[in-house]
Chain A
Amino acid sequence: MKQTTLSVVLEVQPQSADNLSALIGELRHREDKPPPGSSEQYGRLKNGVPVLHFMSLSVFPSADYDPIFVIEANFDGPAGVFWGQLEATLGIELRAMLRCCKKPADQDGPLYLAVTSPDSRVPLAPYLEARTLRPSVFHHGTRGMDRDRILREGELFLATRRVLTQSSPTLANPYRAMTAEQIHANLRAALQPDFPWLDIPAPIRISRIERAGDLARLIIFLFLLLACLSIPGAVIAFISPWQRFLVIFAVLGCVVAFALYLMRAPLEGLGAPSRSGGLTASSLSRRNKLTSLAHPATLAIAVMVLLALYIAVASAIGTALAVLFTGLPVETLWCPTIRVVALGLVSVFLFTIPALVFWLRRLERRDASHDAPPIDSDMMLKMGQREDRIAQNHMGSVVLVKPGVLRTLLFRTGHRGLGLVLRVVATDGYLGSMRTIHFAHWAFVNNGSRLMFFSNFDHSWESYLDDFIEKAHGGLTLAWGSCIGFPPTRFLVLDGASHGRKFKAWARHSMAVSRFWFAAYKDYTVDQIERHARIANGLRQIALTKKEADAWVRDL
């Protein structure tokens, strides 16, 4: 089952911000402490919206903008079903909250008025869907696990514990004398009546179509990126003989490379060299087949093949376009087109990329960072009160994005690339060596002037941020480093988040209180969900080999 992550960002009428926070607070209170006799905590939402994994409602105050109200949702399947279920469950509350928001100035204005007018019964879903933001980068730690399956396999795990428990303090437990294969067979026999779904094969978590789509999107992205980067070189290749072209670009390349060499080191006091945890090919994912590319030889071959493929495809498209515009025959056009495409490609690596990096490095050396962001002690206290109550925690943050053409281009492209790469390589929940994120996403708001981040993660906030600092600082610096006040970065991915204390202070200051937060399976970490899945997958099989059984039984 494919999961969806989205957010709805609505501007709040400034005078109504406190009222909105109070409405969210009331909802939280009602769900947190339901009246005696009614359903369990958050039971209304859990039962009413069976596709929902995690959801939050927050209000972000800002010194630069009016407050925004953000609905963050992570659920199974398409958005339409989710909005329908949510409206049926929390429609009254949500409508009251929407009334605290501004009427959009664009074409959604009439719809807003229709859903917020007194006694309105106009469905909310179309409005919410119209105001939905798609994330720029997102990560799903339990890819392809629908909520029902996570809960079902969790119950199965608890049932295995009950079956394996000693029935009497003085009697021998029959399971203790068994081999792993016998334990499997007996446990399956004992559990099958209560869990008839064990007879059905496990649903496929990532379908071949989804996987092919992810890969195709990444390849198309890389293709377009190369094409764009080769434009300056390709233009010159039209008028320059290839020998002269190569000499000019080699000389330019050397000049830029030398300048970069001189600027490579961090400025005094701004470096944070880290021994490990950077963004390397092998850090992207641990068990993904594609990361066998982490080996330099396979990586080199793969890059060669991809570049050759690029020349072939780009030349074919280029020739076709040339035929269209000039009307000349293909035989006379294909040869010069290949020449322009190939020289353009050479210029990407000889000059364009080094020149962009040089430009970036110049910016980085002059960027100001926010060493001591003001921290509102009242907000801190409210965050502290809400954190560390269940196995997971939640954070939501909004920051300003650094201005400038290069920053914008790099940042947007970097996000798009990172998002596509994550879809392809992060299929087993791991980001680098960390696997503590259920659902996280970044999204640009206000025409890209602000970046929003939401995460539903395991363990404490401190440990989550420390994971980023210690195990995934490279990718994180890429994703967050172009925001105002971020600790000093180098070459887009170095230092940055390795300035641990400064990074934590910056992240904390960007956060708002998670006023309402729902987690559908509050006891299970990502690791635990995967453990349940291994146990369930074993039990779905009629018999295991000795080797399989020995590995399987370790999870019990």
Chain B
Amino acid sequence: MGKGSMTPPASLSSAGWKLKAPHDAQAQGIVVSGFSDLYWAEALFLEADQPGSGWIAALRTVAPITDATAKQVRSAVLAFTCPGLAKLGLDEHDLGTFATPFREGMYQEDRLRRLGDKIDGKWEPTVIPGGPVWGGNNNAQTSGPFKTVHALLLLYDKTEAGVQNWADQLAKTLAPFGVNIVHKLSLNLQPGENKIAREHFGFADGMSQPIPYGDSVVVSNNPSSNNRPSERNPWHGVPLGEILLGHANAHHEKAPGPYVRSKTNRVADLTREGAPEGFLNLGLNGSYMIVRELRQDVAAFWNSLKANAERIQHHDPSATPVTADWIAERIIGRTRDGHLLCPAGAVPPAPDGQPENDVGFLQKDPYGHGCPLGSHVRRSNPRDGLAPDLAAAQTILDAANNHRILRRGRKFGLPASDPYHDDGQERGLLFICLNSDIARQFEFIQQTWVLNQNFATLFDETDPLVGPKGRFTIHEEGKPLRRIVEVETFIRMAGGEYFFLPSIPALDYLASL
């Protein structure tokens, strides 16, 4: 692959924004793009069995890490766990400048409880039996085999064969360095029905993303905007520092760290800017990447909803619209094609035909008659919906936007041919998201919104999609009583970890250790 392969190179961007020079050449491409035109991808989880960073240079000769300047014919992303960075040669002192959740890892005992994975020493039903099979730290105390992951390499290509050959080539390149691929997932983003990329339950995915703004670093990729700084989107605008380290964030500061002590004998382009005296800024234009392998049980999902629909119709013969599809849409909060539900049905598409997303809940759907209060979209981003009244709407929307994540996940496994039949195949979503403050963004969403049993004055229920077996209630217009759906556990975590997604200069530095 080469940068001259496309003339003129199309800029790499998503949802109307891109980074300005020199930041675009420093940030990894996944920050600004999900590489949606490269349908096939491989996630290679790497473990280095000896210390040293020589393997990074070798890896980059075969898979140059894509920056955020221009579209490439294929792309690669590289990120490290905390033990991975230690293995490369970062010492305790430098590692100490990274965020605490990253250093402790996803499997710290109290964090597991907050994330709803393991409570009082027992793995929750939302984790595969026996516990996760991979992670950065081996402190998960799983009963089965466990793979320690030091780095995650994501490869994206236009064809399935292309990406697999590439992965094979990498395995051969890395083997002499003692770096092994200990876990592997084949990801794809192939559009399905109506040319929409769908997750395994059949719903359009990745619909609502935060839109960064800030200083002159982020510009609109609209050709008519003349590289003017992006304006703040009133519904989804977040300061760039929420996604990318080294820029002003929602707390009006540049997140501190990570830094490395400046040493003159290293050849690297790390800047001193933004770092305390005596340090180099390792974090600038990098990010924290959260990865969770979520296995989806498609047959359990649809069979359970079908049984619920039948039960509800016995229960209330007038419940004519209640079918498995009807319940599924309410669990998600959107139609299969990604349109948000509202009391009148679905929110009409935006002028460009895409689902309209600049929508608040408070005015249009205060009681969740369209999009249920406990639906996955409202729990993942309640927007202004938690406001007690209209006067508080702006405060609550601003508050909710301090907890946004940029999602870059993709599904793995083959589509289920019959959604009601369990074919025994593993499939699911490799959840990937970027944020700069793991505790305030990813963990907050998971704990305070998604799995909170008291979210929005609901009682004794959690997220119907990603939470454990339990009840999910739906209000309908004109029906006095809520519908009660008994959901099963549909999604189980098979592994996860917090990664550091370095900038290209930071990667150069790590490779030089």
B396 contacts A172, C-beta separation under 8 Å: no
Contact of A462 among B311, B318, B439, B482 (CB under 8 A): B439
Q: Which residues of B are found within 8 Å of A144, using beta-carbon distances? A: none
Q: A169-B311, A458-B454, A553-B480 are in contact. Are A272 and B394 (CB under 8 A)?
A: no
Give the interface size class of chain A: 35 or more
Q: CB within 8 A of B396: which of A175, A387, A471, A498?
A: A471
Contact A277 B481 (CB under 8 A): no
A442 CB → nearest B CB, Å: 23
Contact across chains for B388 and A433 when beta carbons are under 8 A apart: yes
Q: Number of B interface residues, CB 8 Å?
A: 48
Contact assessment for B318 and A176 in the assembled complex, using a CB-CB cutoff below 8 Å: yes
The A1-51 residues at the B interface (CB cut-off 8 A) are none
Known A-B contacts A286-B392, A499-B252; the reply to A179 vs B480 at CB < 8 A is yes
In the complex, which residue of chain A has the Cβ closest to the Cβ of B307?
A: A169
Contact call A433/B480, Cβ cutoff below 8 A: no
Q: Are A277 and B437 in contact (CB under 8 A)?
A: no
Chain B 458-473 near chain A by CB (<8 Å), digits 1 or 0: 0110000000000000
Contact B315 A276 (CB under 8 A): no
A273 to B253, CA, bound (A): 11
A residues 149-181 in Cβ contact with B at 8 Å = 157, 164-166, 169-173, 175-180
A178–B480 CA distance with the chains assembled, in angstroms:
8
Say yes or no: is A531 at the interface (Cβ < 8 Å to chain B). yes
Which residues of B388-437 are within 8 A (CB) of A? Answer: 388-389, 391-392, 394-396, 398-399, 402-403, 437
Residue pair A528, B391 in contact (C-beta under 8 Å): no
Q: Report if B157 contacts A (CB, 8 A).
A: no
Does A364 have its Cβ within 8 Å of any Cβ on chain B? no
Report the separation of the CA atoms of residues A169 and B312 in the bound assembly, to the nearest whole angstrom. Answer: 8
Give the A-B contact count at a CB cut-off of 8 A.
142
B122 interface residue per 8 A CB criterion: no
Give Cα A183–Cα B481 distance, bound, in whole angstroms. 9
Distance between Cα atoms of A350 and B452 in the complex (Å): 51
Partner of A172, one of B113, B114, B314, B398: B314
Bound: A466/B401 CA distance, A: 12
> Which chain A residues lie closer than 8 Å to B448 at the CB level?
459-460, 462-463
Whether the Cβ atoms of A435 and B388 lie closer than 8 Å is yes
Tell me if B143 is interfacial: C-beta within 8 Å of chain A.
no
Known interface pairs A286-B391, A459-B452; A172-B480 also in contact (CB < 8 Å): no
Complex formed: what's the CA distance from A384 to B101 in Å?
12
Q: Is A243 an interface residue (CB 8 A)?
A: no
Partner of B399, one of A179, A180, A470, A531: A470
**Inter-chain contact A169/B314, CB cutoff 8 Å:** yes
A-contact 0/1 string along B350-388, CB 8 Å cutoff: 000000000000000001000000000000000000011
Question: Which residues of A, 322-361, contact B by the 8 Å Cβ criterion?
Answer: none
B453 within 8 A of A: yes
What sequence of 0s and 1s flags, for each residue 429-468 of chain A, a beta carbon within 8 Å of any chain B beta carbon? Answer: 0101101000000000000000000000011101100110
Report the Cα distance A389→B120, complex, angstroms: 10
Output the least CB separation between A433 and chain B (Å).
4
B110 within 8 A of A: yes
Among residues of A, the one whose C-beta sits closest to the C-beta of B119 is: A389
Across the interface, A180 reaches (CB within 8 A) one of B387, B396, B480, namely B480
Interface centre among A169, A176, A180, A381 (most CB of B within 10 A): A176
Q: Cα distance A498–B392 when bound, in Å? A: 18
Which A residues touch B256, using CB under 8 A?
A: 501
Question: What are 9 inter-chain pairs, A to B, with CB distance below 8 A?
Answer: A165-B484, A276-B395, A286-B388, A381-B110, A433-B392, A458-B454, A471-B395, A500-B402, A502-B251
6 additional A-B residue pairs with CB within 8 Å, beyond A549-B480, A553-B481: A169-B315, A433-B392, A462-B443, A462-B444, A501-B251, A531-B457
Report, nearest first, the 8 A-B pairs whose CB atoms are least far apart: A500-B251, A433-B392, A470-B399, A176-B316, A384-B110, A276-B395, A272-B252, A463-B448
